[in-house]
């Protein structure tokens, strides 16, 4: 049933991408309006996934950091929780046209993690993989934005399984498909590699203020 649901969802979203569905054509100066063009504000937190929600106990969770780094990392939950924790407030913008304001995240900043690994000067991109097999890609500079973090809590509570717990990435400046749930692996690379949705018609960058929904 999960595989059938996933196949139907992928087929539907690929059709949307081919048709350019959801594009509004509305314009606004990038970064000025809090609500990007074509978005509607919601109070709840909708759940979107590929029909698979892996159940990963904290005792079994491990994050691998590899690629163009001086020191490869393999962090279990205790090691991750022992790193400096921060709290950040940011908005969510989903490609399916909803936005949610003032999400309070707790976790470890991407800058801190990159510093631990010692990212090579030749790295230009970050390739991200999740426990459900999902992948996506980011430019290194965007991954290292000051408001990006590996979050384990949302609004004071542990992130639930349905929303990507125990740890998910949060990249506020882009549509939320660029913030993978159930984060498993971070690879620093010298070349870009489109991920799951990018290979299926989604934009390679995903800036909501520019309506970069589809490539």
Position 137 in a domain? yes
Position 174 in a domain? yes
Position 167 in a domain? yes
Position 54 in a domain? yes
- Report residue 16's pLDDT band, with 50, 70 and 90 as the boundaries: very low
Q: Tell me the CATH number at 59.
A: 3.90.420.10
Q: Which residue has the higher pLDDT, 1 or 209?
A: 209
Position 215 in a domain? no
What is the residue range of 52's domain? 2-210
Asked whether the predicted pLDDT for residue 174 surpasses 50, the reply is yes
Instruction: Give φ, ψ of 124 to 5 degrees.
Output: -125, -20
Position 156 in a domain? yes
- Report residue 18's pLDDT band, with 50, 70 and 90 as the boundaries: very low
- pLDDT tens digits along 77-90: 999 999 999 999 99
- Report residue 4's pLDDT band, with 50, 70 and 90 as the boundaries: low
Asked whether the predicted pLDDT for residue 22 surpasses 60, the reply is no
Residue-wise DSSP of 142-195: HHT-TT-EEEEEETTEEPPGGGT-S-EEE-TTS-GGGS-SSEEEEEEESS----
What's the number of domains the chain is made of? 1
């Amino acid at each position: 049933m999960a595989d059938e649901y996933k196949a139907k969802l992928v087929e539907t979203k690929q059709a949307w991408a081919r048709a350019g569905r959801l594009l509004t054509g509305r314009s606004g100066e990038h970064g000025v309006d809090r609500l990007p063009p074509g978005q509607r504000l919601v109070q709840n937190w909708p759940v979107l996934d590929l029909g698979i929600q892996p159940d990963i106990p904290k005792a079994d969770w491990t994050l691998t950091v590899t690629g163009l780094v001086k020191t490869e990392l393999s962090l279990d939950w205790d090691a991750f929780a022992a790193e400096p924790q921060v709290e950040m407030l940011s908005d969510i913008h989903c490609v399916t046209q909803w936005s949610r304001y003032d999400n309070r995240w707790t976790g470890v900043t991407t800058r801190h993690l990159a510093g631990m690994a010692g990212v090579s000067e030749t790295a230009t991109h970050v390739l991200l993989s999740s426990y459900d097999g999902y992948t996506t890609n980011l430019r290194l500079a965007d991954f290292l934005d000051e408001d990006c973090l590996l979050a384990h809590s949302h609004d004071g509570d542990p992130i639930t399984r349905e929303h990507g717990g125990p740890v998910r990435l949060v990249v506020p400046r882009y549509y939320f498909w660029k913030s993978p749930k159930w984060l498993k692996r971070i690879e620093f690379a010298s070349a870009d590699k489109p991920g799951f949705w990018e290979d299926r018609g989604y934009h390679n960058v995903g800036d909501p203020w520019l309506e970069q929904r589809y490539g």
